[in-house]
């Protein structure tokens, strides 16, 4: 049985903590920088089973990659709005998250 991650809509704090925990003590920028090569390796490994769902209700590798790409598009838009100063709510949220990441890395 696969553990389910917290729902980002109904429990955003738990979901955020899960993602921060996945990065661990690694530098988030370095993790992000290595993501493309990691995804390419997963796609290569999946080979002809790229579209195959391993179990009912689970996603195929291609669906996971599509979800990541979609999320990257959304995140990059938010980052641009934050950096341009047009999104004060997410700017404050980003500062809080960065503080938690820094605290976790130094703990």
Contact 39, 68 (CB under 8 A): yes
Q: Domain total for the chain?
A: 1
Residue 88 has pLDDT above 90, yes or no: no
DSSP 14: H
Residue 54 lies in a domain: yes
Backbone angles phi and psi of 11, in degrees to 5: -140, 65
pLDDT value of position 100: 76
- Asked whether the predicted pLDDT for residue 2 surpasses 70, the reply is no
Confirm whether 8 is domain-assigned. Answer: no
Distance CA 20, CA 27 (A): 11
Does residue 79 lie within any of the structural domains?
A: yes
Residue with tokens 């769902």, as numbered in its chain: 53
Domain membership of residue 21 (yes or no) is no
In a domain, residue 36? The reply is no
Residue 61: CB atoms within 10 A of its CB come to: 19
- Does residue 53 fall inside a structural domain? yes
Q: Write the pLDDT tens digit of every residue in 27-55.
A: 888 988 999 999 999 999 999 999 999 99
Would residue 35 count as lying in a domain? no
Within 8 A by CB and 6+ apart from 81, the residues are 87, 90
Residue 47 included in any domain: yes
Domain housing 60: 42-107
């Amino acid at each position: 049985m696969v553990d389910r991650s917290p729902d980002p809509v109904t429990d955003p704090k738990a979901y955020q903590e899960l993602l921060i925990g996945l990065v661990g003590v690694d530098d988030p920028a370095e993790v992000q920088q290595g993501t493309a090569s990691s995804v390419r390796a997963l796609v290569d490994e999946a080979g002809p089973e790229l579209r195959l769902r391993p179990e009912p209700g689970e996603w195929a590798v291609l669906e996971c990659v599509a979800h990541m790409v979609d999320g990257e598009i959304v995140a990059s838009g938010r980052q641009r709005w934050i950096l341009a100063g047009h999104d004060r709510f997410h700017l404050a949220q980003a500062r809080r998250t960065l503080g938690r990441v820094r605290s976790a890395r130094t703990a």
